[in-house]
Structure 1
């Protein structure tokens, strides 16, 4: 397209438009009024509403057949072995089948919070293996997120893929830290011996 074609095309597009008179034009010298205090309060309310700090960004993929395991420092080998073998009583259970990643994120955060408030020591989270998903890129997506999220939570001391009778590679045993109250009770119990 040459310059003459562009000029005639522009003239066709603006045909029929009447220019404004100077008295109809209003130019503001200052911008709109901004209530910074209201904006700050709204930001604080939004931050308080979503205390969930579990990441929503990149997650390292695990395979449906991968074993999930994690142990923070201070967890005795014998304790971790008993957890891995499913020898602790399961006090709480969360089933995430048919949940989206966003729903699972909220559920996991709330579940961990509930477990801590109720002095739960061992729980199980059923996430599924994710091996039936037709899209190879989406396989084990929930399992991959569980693997990442549980490491981000301070209340989690250890986790390991479950034994076959508890869901196998589609579930994890979770070991929670003792609350201060539970530690005190344990200490008092052992001092009386």
Structure 2
């Protein structure tokens, strides 16, 4: 099956996402209060790879204005799908709040969250990064953080992750320019199921 066929099947299935019972994925037990070193060891033991982390640089990303509207989509994502994402029309199946994270913490949490979502076939997400406008929005651990640093980093990271098909700043009731809607690709299992249904229809 060609890439175009797979993309077509993906786009046909986007509207079929089903809400999970809760809109947040529970953190892994035992992580509260853990040090960076402990989290790193747990991450390595659980995942066995740092491929996605290696794609996300900790070097400062080009600075974005805290109120800037940002977004991107990959080739093959239709404009209608992207518009529906931008307007917040898809059911949000999960959310991740990174507003009280340092940049290294946010990078690790983002990768772990997206891996979990992809494994569970969760497709449409909300990432809360805040605007970083001042002390009221900044965590004490963000020593020397520049205005809008976390927003800038996450906006730069998402296009680097193969599982992310599109992202856009959220609607005001979901956090506006302090949050992002994210659309993930379909899992390999779901792709196989779609191919099987497609072949049965052709047969």
Q: Is this contact kept in 2: 1:121–1:176, CA < 8 A?
A: yes
CA contact (8 A) 2:60 2:149 kept: no
Q: Which residue of 2 aligns with 1:162?
A: 170
1: CA distance, partners of 2:189 / 2:50: 27
- Identify the residue that residue 108 of structure 1 maps to in structure 2: 110
Residue 138 of structure 1 aligns to a residue in which SS? coil
> Following the alignment from structure 1 to structure 2, what is the Cα–Cα distance between the partners of residues 121 and 72?
15
Q: Which runs of 5+ in 2 are unaligned?
A: 1-43, 139-143
Partner SS, residue 108 of structure 2: helix
Instruction: Give 1:132's aligned residue.
Output: 134
Q: Does 2:152 correspond to 1:144?
A: yes
Output the CA distance in 1 between the equivalents of 2:99 and 2:60. Answer: 22
TM-align CA RMSD: 2.5
Q: CA deviation at 1:185?
A: 2.6
- Asked which structure has the greater CA Rg, the reply is 1
**Offset at 1:187?**
4.2
- Within-5 A mapping of 1:1-193: 50-51=50-51, 52-53=53-54, 54-133=56-135, 138-189=146-197, 192=201
Name the count of aligned residue pairs.
148
Unaligned residue ranges in structure 1 (runs of 5+): 1-44
C-alpha displacement at 1:112, in angstroms? 1.0
Per-residue deviation, residues 21-77 of structure 1 (Å, max 9, x unmatched): xxxxxxxxxxxxxxxxxxxxxxxx9xx564421111131110111011011111000
| TM value normalised by structure 2 | 0.66
**Dislocated runs of 4+, deviation >3 Å:** 48-51, 133-137, 186-193
Q: How far is the alpha carbon of 1:186 from its aligned partner?
A: 3.2
Q: After superposition, what is the alpha-carbon deviation per residue over 1:111-147, rounded to whole angstroms, capped at 9, x for unaligned?
A: 1111111111101100001112499971110000001
1:141-170 per-residue CA deviation (whole Å, 9 max, x = no partner) reads 000000111011000000000011111111
